[in-house]
Amino acid sequence: MQYVNEFRDPEKAQVLIREIQGLTEELGATSESPIRIMEVCGGHTHTIFKFGLEQLLPDSIELIHGPGCPVCVLPMGRVDDCVALAEREEVILTTFGDAMRVPGSRKSLLQAKADGADVRMVYSPTDALKLAQQNPEREVVFFGLGFETTMPSTALTVLQAALEGISNFSLLCTHITIPQTLQALLDTPDLRIDAFIGPGHVSMVIGTEAYGFIAAQYGKPLVVSGFEPLDVLQSVWMILRQMQSGRCEVENQYRRVVPDSGNPAAQNAVAQVFELREFCEWRGLGSIAQSGVQIRKEYAAFDAEHKFRVAPQQVADPKECQCGEVLQGRIKPPQCRVFGTACTPQTPLGALMVSSEGACAAYYNYGIGRHPEPQAA
Amino acid sequence: MCLGIPGQVVEVTDAEKRIALVDVGGIKRPINLACVVESPEAMSEAPGMWVLVHVGFAMSRINEEEAHKTLELLQELGELQEEMRNAAAQVA
């Protein structure tokens, strides 16, 4: 496949690995005192595990798997909202496949479907709009989740519904934003992260300037990266080069897809339909100010929260789960007390075990830490 | 979740709504190009264009020149390593 295979070339990967090895030695990093790089996006976590990049990199580099998997940070209360909506007689609840298996406090959407609720998986929000047109006697709710990457698609779908006057379509909006979340993470006391691999597809929408504060105020280099193995390795190399030359900047490795200013048409659609939410609830991380969006009043007719009077609710995560600590890079997945025992990809307790982009599912599926290491006291 | 897959525009199916068939890894799907093509009139230039597809929407036009530059840089880095290895071998 064009623009994919050429970025998986093993020979070029070896070249990068050799450069990285040289630089980590030069920087004096060791396995006891590694350079800690967080890949923010779950897509990168997936690439890192799928291609075994951690095994290729020297052990003087530690990769911390960040919070950038919208399914993994979906709070239980929101799943409960979806289940409650799906159980209404008139509602067809639609969403992306990833959201179906996330546990709620009562059940997941998949369990609700098995129990008779009309839940349907769609590829695109426009498929949900089509369903609304085909079923004028029903209420079609699209559960829209995801970061800035996905926001333009739901915004444009709401605009299309408004234009065509499709009144039986609404959006349950659970979109969240990356820069505010990174800021909250960076404000966490004793967070030990030296640099970031920035999310490529969020950046193709918002551009690279939004991360300026991470380099300028927090002194951490950030490199926006593509999703093939060469992209991720090149980004690690670019971070190390910054460290070696004493620079601290936002750089763009993924120029073939990410213009520095992002996508203005997509930004316009998002600004037209959404506004910042005062607070947004994250699984494992708690409430983060302005880390999500809600639908503007002008489009309240297409806002499921407004239409069905969905009241915000907070449901505590299961006590035994340590998702938050994993998301902040404090512990590795196998160190969680329920990893691989009470919590597995077949019966996930925590959301990090649900999605293939979640750090715990990745550790489990790729056989790393099947035998949990003894936990530090 | 933020998965994006490269695809090539095959043919325009609805210029007004800016929808075209896009070949994504051998499967042709109707994709909304509103974020990468300025106007319905400009849709005539879309066939052949490479785009990055996310949940039924093209979110970026792939820049062929930049893709080439990235690969070229890695090629040069490899050649440089080779030269240094050869030089080191000669000294030894």
pLDDT tens figures, B65-87: 999 999 999 999 999 999 988 99
Contact check, Cβ <8 Å, B74/A234: yes
Instruction: Judge if A28 and A169 occupy the same domain.
Output: no
Element at A324 (helix H, strand E): helix A323-327
* Interface contact A3, partner B, CB < 8 A: yes
- Does A94 reside within a domain? yes
- pLDDT, tens digit, for every residue of A90-116? 999 999 998 998 889 899 999 999 999
pLDDT at A196: 97
Q: Does A67 touch chain B (CB under 8 A)?
A: no
B38 in the same domain as B3: yes
Quick one: pLDDT band at residue A336, thresholds 50, 70, 90? very high
Number of folded domains that form chain B: 2
Instruction: Look at the pTM and tell me if it is higher than 0.80.
Output: yes
Residues of A in contact with B81 (CB under 8 A): 15, 18-19
- For the stretch A118-150, pLDDT in tens is 999 999 999 999 999 999 999 999 999 999 999
Q: Is B1 on the interface with A (CB under 8 A)?
A: yes
Whether B71 and chain A come into contact, CB under 8 Å, resolves to yes
Does one domain contain both B67 and B34?
A: no
pLDDT tier, A371 (very low <50, low <70, confident <90, very high otherwise): very low
Residues A108 and A235 in one domain: no
User: What does the angle CA A9 – CA B25 – CA A352 come to, to the nearest 5 degrees?
Assistant: 75
Domain co-membership, B6 together with B46: yes
* pLDDT score, position A164: 96
Q: Among A52-66, A316-330, B77-91, which stretch is predicted with the lowest mean pLDDT?
A: A316-330
Cβ–Cβ contact B2 with A under 8 A: yes
Q: Chain A residues with CB inside 8 Å of B6's CB?
A: 1-4
- The reply to whether A84 and A186 lie within a common domain is no
Shared domain for A169 and A268, answered yes or no, is: yes
> Domain total for chain A?
3
Tell me the chain A residues in contact with residue B35 when contact means C-beta distances shorter than 8 Å. 152, 156, 263, 265-266, 269
Distance from CA of A128 to the nearest CA of B (A): 12
Whether B74 contacts chain A with CB within 8 A:
yes
pLDDT given for residue B81 in this prediction: 92
**Nearest residue in A to B55, CA atom:** A124
How far is it between the farthest Cα atoms of chain A?
68
Residue with tokens 């709401």: A158
Per-residue model confidence as pLDDT tens digits over A178-216: 998 899 889 988 788 999 999 999 999 999 999 999 999
A254 occurs within a structural domain: no
Comparing alpha-carbon positions, the chain B residue that sits nearest to A18 is B81
Q: Is B4 on the interface with A (CB under 8 A)?
A: yes
Q: Is B27 in CB contact (< 8 Å) with chain A?
A: no
Beta carbons of B74 and A230 less than 8 Å apart: yes
Q: Report if residue A312 sits inside a domain.
A: no
Domain encompassing residue A347 = 323-365
Reply yes or no on whether the pLDDT at A375 is more than 70. no
Domain identity same for A291 and A161: yes
Lowest mean pLDDT among A19-28, A78-87, A308-317, B77-86: A308-317
CATH number at residue A183: 3.40.50.11750
Give the residue among A261, A186, A252, A190 at the shortest CA–CA distance from A222.
A252
Locate A312 and state its tokens. Answer: 């915000």
Q: Residue B19's closest chain A neighbor by CA?
A: A126
Q: What is the pLDDT of residue A369?
A: 54
Does the interface predicted TM-score (ipTM) exceed 0.90?
yes
Closest C-alpha among A118, A310, A70 to residue A109: A118
CA distance A103 to A108: 5
Chain A residue numbers touching B57 (CB-CB < 8 A):
124, 152-153, 156
Q: Which residues of A touch B67 (CB under 8 A)?
A: 3, 6, 256
pLDDT at A347 over 60: yes
Asked if the model's pLDDT at residue A87 lies above 90, the reply is: yes
Of A127, A199, A259, the CB nearest to B2: A199
Find the domain containing B37 and state its range. 1-61
Out of B2, B35, B70, the one facing A201 most closely (by C-beta) is: B2
- SS3 category, B28: strand
- B77 and B55 in a single domain? The answer is no
Q: Does the residue A143 lie in any domain?
A: yes
pLDDT given for residue A313 in this prediction: 75
A192 within some domain: yes
Mean pLDDT of A71-100: 93
Rounded CA separation A179/B69 (Å): 28
Sorted by sequence, the CB contacts under 8 Å of residue A288 that are 6+ apart come out as: A180, A181, A184, A279, A280, A282
Lowest-confidence pick of A2-6, A167-171, A317-321, B28-32: A317-321
A259 contacts in B (CB within 8 Å)?
A: 60, 63
Q: Measured between CB atoms, does A373 come within 8 Å of chain B?
A: no
B23 in A contact zone (CB under 8 Å): no
Give the count of beta carbons closer than 10 Å to the beta carbon of residue B20.
Answer: 26
What average pLDDT does the structure give for chain A? 92
pLDDT tens per residue, range A269-306:
999 999 999 988 888 788 888 999 999 999 999 999 99
Task: Flag if B1 and A146 touch (Cβ within 8 Å).
Answer: yes
Tell me the torsion sign for CA atoms A210, A276, A72, B52: negative
pLDDT given at position A246: 97
Q: With CB atoms and an 8 Å threshold, state whether B1 touches A69.
A: yes
CB contact under 8 A, A3 and B6: yes
